[in-house]
Chain A
């Protein structure tokens, strides 16, 4: 007969055995895609910007961001191997092209002005008409567009899978040995989400670390004055300087480009509406508007002062304005204020450079 102590010891051994068996099972249940050698990417939020929410399934890692940057600057994504994302999105110009329209690999121009790439982690739809519903979904647009990189995803994924360097990196980041489109989308999006810009003179001014000149200060007053500039209905003051909405700003009485209308549910009330762009770094992103029609900021502000045309969907905050309500000096002051939104670090940050 076992002693009381021995009985306890026996039960203890059984318990340990069962616990061990269970633990082993739960450890096995961890998906193979979890990779402990990945380092989480620490996103540093600039002065003037709010926190960013990124779901776990799309979390940023050092290795993922580095892979995304390599892909962003690699012409392997284009059909002829000569054009990368960076070919039309220049860091020096807050990631836009300086041309009115961008020219694709076949020498054909697109129909809309290249959009800047910064603070995209806050946006929920992409392109001038918002047709892409996430940054990941946007990524594969230009790769396939016949007037841009004119490739096919099948071709690109095949090229990447035949490249040992990429195979190793994708395996490290996503834990899978076959590269898929979803992995390509996530990697480039990871890099793009790190491009943040919110360290402008205006941001410093807001925290009392810079002083606006009299022209800049006057420009700010006109910018927010409902009877003058009235810019803040769409370009919300501070943060991202956009309402992320779509507006017809009176460029044409009959819009040549239907804009948001071509996106379901095809509302007639969306004809001629385009995304409100951010005004941050606007000094760096000429030319302006969805078709690049304006060369200077003065032309842009003057458009809202006196140039806008009546159109069926013209935004009410433009439609109800008297033309010529701002003097030439006031227009110049608004432009001076807009230049305080320039964050030069975006053009020099090595993390974003090729």
Chain B
């Protein structure tokens, strides 16, 4: 009898320890990055620039296609819902909304976890915040309304913000403000790429040229509009900017 009781207790102990161990083992496996990893993290690094030069905040030293001299005091935008396309036409979708802020070095990257190995020929991304997340401020992380990218008078996120100054045609220094938002302005951008993932973390460098945003196909002249806020009567610029976004991003290289 005593023997049997001892046997029962032993069984209990073994069962319990197995139950605990099993969970631990699973966790270890998922974190394991061995040499035969079939996926890796890919970090999109946004190189925000003006005509290939780094952006120095607060100095009127840039010139757009319309010959307006201008500055940047704030340049922020949201990048959402990224789709990577492989050379076999298969796709990987990542639902994310990341705030890019030129003033903050820690906010210029988007890390995509566990991207399967393969050669990637295209990155599709969206400027803005998708409809499903655009109508409530009750969100954490980059969508916390405290980043000054959330309208309270008209519930929704500011998708893109460029604040600065420019010199008008009469030589006067004036304020410059582009605040793009509303569901209709959510813009898809397709960027042809050429990089591969081989189980090792990869950095993919993308360029965003602010001068291109004001150049093609719609030349924006700040003299004819220097205070653009989505939600005011002049909505033509929303369409123009959305069209221009498509030509403002490019793939640089990957390493």
Interface residues of A (CB under 8 A from B): 2, 6, 9-10, 13-14, 17-18, 20-21, 127, 131-134, 136-138, 140-141, 144-145, 152-154, 157, 180-182, 185-186, 258, 262-266
In the complex, besides A10-B8, A153-B145, A153-B148, 17 extra interface pairs with C-beta distance below 8 angstroms are A17-B12, A17-B16, A20-B16, A131-B152, A131-B154, A134-B138, A136-B138, A145-B152, A152-B148, A153-B146, A181-B145, A182-B139, A262-B232, A263-B154, A264-B154, A266-B231, A266-B233
Which residue of B is nearest A13, CB measured?
A: B8
How near does chain B come to A5, taking the closest CB pair, in angstroms?
Answer: 10
With an 8 A cutoff between CB atoms, is B182 at the interface?
Answer: yes
Q: List 11 A-B contacts (CB under 8 A).
A: A10-B8, A17-B12, A132-B155, A137-B136, A140-B150, A145-B153, A153-B148, A181-B137, A182-B145, A262-B232, A265-B184
Given the contacts A18-B15, A153-B145, A263-B231, A132 and B8 also touching, CB distance less than 8 Å: no
Q: Which residues of B contact A14 (CB under 8 A)?
A: 11, 15
Smallest CB-CB separation from B18: which chain A residue? Answer: A21
Assembled-state Cα–Cα distance A329/B241 (Å): 59
> How does the 8 Å CB contact mask read for B131-147 relative to A, with 1 for contact and 0 for none?
00001111110001111
Which residues of B lie under 8 Å from residue A265 when comparing CB positions?
184
Question: Which of A21, A152, A182, A264 touches B231 (beta carbons < 8 Å)?
Answer: A264
Q: How far is the CA of A17 from the CA of B20 in the complex (A)?
A: 12
Name the CB-closest residue of B to A144. Answer: B152
For residue A20, which residues in chain B have a CB less than 8 angstroms away from its CB?
Answer: 16
Judged by a CB distance under 8 angstroms, whether B4 is at the interface is yes
Q: CB distance A9 to B154 under 8 Å?
A: no
Cβ contact within 8 Å between B19 and A21: yes
Complex-state Cα separation, A154 to B230, whole angstroms = 23
Contact status of A2 and B4, CB under 8 A, knowing A13-B12, A132-B155, A136-B136: yes
Establish whether residues B4 and A6, one from each chain, have CB atoms under 8 Å apart when the complex forms: yes
Within the complex, the shortest CB–CB distance from B18 to chain A, in Å, comes to: 9
**Is B148 within 8 A of A140, CB to CB?**
no
Cα A295 to Cα B162 in complex, Å, equals 43
The answer to whether B15 touches A17, judged by C-beta atoms less than 8 angstroms apart, is: yes
Is there an interface contact between A141 and B153, defined as CB atoms closer than 8 Å? Answer: yes
**Chain B count of residues within 8 A CB distance of the other chain:** 33
| Centre residue among A20, A144, A185 by max chain B CB count within 10 A | A144
B183 at interface, CB cutoff 8 A: yes
Contacts of A185 in B (CB 8 A): 137-138, 145
Query: Contact residues of B with A, CB < 8 Å?
Result: 4, 8, 11-12, 15-16, 19, 135-140, 144-148, 150-156, 182-184, 230-233, 235
Distance (whole angstroms) from the CB of B75 to the closest CB of chain A = 18
Determine the distance from Cα of A199 to Cα of B154 in the docked complex, in whole angstroms.
33
Smallest CB–CB gap between A104 and chain B, Å?
14
Q: How far is the CA of A131 from the CA of B152 in the complex (A)?
A: 8
In the assembly, what is the distance between CA of A136 and CA of B137, in Å? 8
Contact assessment for A180 and B140 in the assembled complex, using a CB-CB cutoff below 8 Å: yes
Measured in the bound complex, the distance between the Cα atoms of B63 and A123 in whole Å is 48
CB distance from B242 to the nearest CB of A (A): 15
Given contacts A21-B16, A262-B232, contact A127 B8 (CB under 8 A): no
> Which residues of the partner chain A approach B154 to less than 8 Å between Cβ atoms?
131-132, 262-264
Residues in A with CB closer than 8 Å to B136 are 133-134, 136-137
Q: Which residue in chain B gives the minimum CB-CB distance to A263?
A: B154
Question: Across the interface, do A140 and B145 meet the contact criterion of CB distance under 8 Å?
Answer: yes
Most chain A CB within 10 A, of B11, B145, B182, B231, is at B145
- Residue A182 contacts which of B8, B15, B144, B184 (CB distance < 8 angstroms)? B144
